[in-house]
Amino acid sequence: MRFPILLFISLFVVTACSSVKRSQKYAAKGEYDKAIDLAVKKLQKSRTSKDTDAHIAILEDAFKKATDDDLRQIAFYKKEQSQAGVRETYFIYVNMEQRQNKIRPLLPLHYQSSGKAAKLKMADYSDEIIAAKNNYVASLYAQAQDYMRRNNKQDYRNAHHVLMQLNTISPNYKDVRSMLDEAHFKGTDFILVKLNNHTAQIIPAQLQEELLDFNTYGLNDQWTEYHGQRDRQINYDYGIDMNFKLIDILPERILEQSFSREKRITDGEEIRRDRGGNIVRDSLGNPIKTARIIDVKAHVKITTQQKNVVVGGTVVYRDLRRGQQMQSFPLTTEFIFENVFATYRGDKRALEPEDLELITNRFVPFPSSEQMVLDAGDDIKYQLKEILSKNKFN
């Protein structure tokens, strides 16, 4: 038992020494907050270990140096008077307060060797934090106003980003809510999608509604809105024209194919007889039976119903602000209605498995031309979504 205990003690000592060395390395590299975090973690676990004094010394030194560095940086930013400095000043004060809050639960701290209290002077930064926050918020507000005065889409988006930061720090500040709405509206690309029928066929109203229902495409994002109906309050940035140039519905066709099936099958058993007509028996006197083989025939007629529709057109992207066509993509599909069934005359046992499957089918009414176009619309919608997804405006 002594060996495991000694091993445990050795590992404990190595780990403790390792944590002191790591804290010292952090402090030596100027990474004071890492040194503080590690020292606090160790002191939270124990304040009576042999390394307690070392951790208190590291904490005391790193805390003072971190605070001095932060105060020097704040003094520089105040002299510099830059927008970035206003932001950094606020977050430095917040970090200083958070650093103190990590240490406060440990206070008072005393060195075990001397009983002397650690020099960890806590300061009240509340006034500084409030003032820095007010300056930062005012700076963000002015920055957002400046972006919005430039009156272009990207800067409206930049303004929205800044205002969101502001709203996180100081909700309900001045008219930020209305500014957010304005920045979002003016920073959004609005796209009007139109369906143009240049064919002699009628495009079903249901298909038109489904093609222009952009809620089903999942394309709208923060800065892009697709509209299938014009909103008179909006000046659209881009247009997408779905131009249908061909809807060709081929005539109904019925194709017939006839053929014969023949099979030699086993049809029960029969008693074997000799040439004289006598029953042939086995050694036990039982009649000998043999399979009865017969030929069966059937006449099969396979009927195929077919009706096709071909739909073709283009998807054209247009820049409405410049009055220019941007790019064009083909849109084409073919939908085939087909029903195959079979009938037969003769012995069903002559049929093949595929014949047996087809004779369960029946003649069905041909779909209307409108239904054919609707059925082709499923693939059109898929193609349209693929085009729109791969060719976004931003």
- The confidence band for 17, taking pLDDT boundaries of 50, 70 and 90, is low
Can you tell me the mean pLDDT for 306-311? 94
Peptide bond into 251 cis (omega under 30): no
Predicted pLDDT of residue 290: 82
Q: What percent of the chain has pLDDT over 70?
A: 95
Can you tell me the mean pLDDT for 133-139? 95
Q: Which of 16-25, 109-118, 194-203, 257-266 has the lowest mean pLDDT?
A: 16-25
**Distance of alpha carbon 124 from alpha carbon 97, whole angstroms:** 8
Total H helices, total E strands in the chain: 10, 6
In this predicted structure, the answer to whether residue 242 has a pLDDT above a threshold of 50 is: yes
Q: How many Cα atoms are found within 13 Å in the side-chain-facing hemisphere of 4?
A: 1
In this predicted structure, the answer to whether residue 229 has a pLDDT above a threshold of 70 is: yes
pLDDT tens by residue, 317-331: 999 999 999 999 999
Predicted pLDDT of residue 214: 77
Q: Are 201 and 250 in contact (CB under 8 A)?
A: no
Can you tell me the mean pLDDT for 210-226? 83
Backbone angles phi, psi at 340, to 5 degrees: -120, 130
Roughly what angle, to the nearest 10 degrees, separates helices 52-80 and 83-103?
Answer: 160
Q: Which of 105-114, 158-167, 194-203, 268-277 has the lowest mean pLDDT?
A: 268-277
Predicted pLDDT of residue 2: 47
Can you tell me the mean pLDDT for 32-52? 91
Structure tokens at 70: 């932060």
Q: What number of residues does the chain have?
A: 394
Task: Tell me the one-letter amino acid at 140.
Answer: L
Give, as one character, the DSSP assignment of residue 106: G
Can you tell me the mean pLDDT for 30-55? 91
pLDDT tens by residue, 56-86: 999 999 999 999 999 999 999 999 989 999 9
Q: Are 328 and 391 in contact (CB under 8 A)?
A: no
Give, as one character, the DSSP assignment of residue 221: B
Q: Give CA separation, 266 vs 290, 295, 346, 347, 355, in Å.
A: 10, 9, 17, 14, 20
Query: Mind spelling out the 3-state secondary structure of 133-185?
Result: HHHHHHHHHHHHHHHHHCCCHHHHHHHHHHHHHHHHHCCCCCCHHHHHHHHHH
- The confidence band for 268, taking pLDDT boundaries of 50, 70 and 90, is confident
Q: Given 1.20.120, 3.30.450, 3.40.50, 1.10.730, which CATH number is that of 189-268+297-394?
A: 3.40.50
Q: Which of 40-54, 146-160, 333-347, 353-367 has the lowest mean pLDDT?
A: 40-54
Sorted by sequence, the CB contacts under 8 Å of residue 129 that are 6+ apart come out as 90, 93, 94, 97
**Distance of alpha carbon 87 from alpha carbon 135, whole angstroms:** 8
- The confidence band for 34, taking pLDDT boundaries of 50, 70 and 90, is very high
Work out whether strand 238-249 and strand 289-319 pair parallel, antiparallel, or are unpaired. Answer: antiparallel
Give, as one character, the DSSP assignment of residue 90: H
**Distance of alpha carbon 67 from alpha carbon 352, whole angstroms:** 92
Q: Give CA separation, 195 vs 243, 256, 368, 372, in Å.
A: 6, 40, 22, 19
Task: Tell me the one-letter amino acid at 146.
Answer: D
Can you tell me the mean pLDDT for 167-181? 95
pLDDT tens by residue, 107-124: 999 999 899 999 999 999
- The confidence band for 153, taking pLDDT boundaries of 50, 70 and 90, is very high
- pTM equals 0.71
**Distance of alpha carbon 33 from alpha carbon 312, whole angstroms:** 66
- The confidence band for 105, taking pLDDT boundaries of 50, 70 and 90, is very high
In this predicted structure, the answer to whether residue 8 has a pLDDT above a threshold of 50 is: no
Taking CA 282 as the corner, what is the angle to CA 280 and CA 288, rounded to the nearest 5 degrees?
55
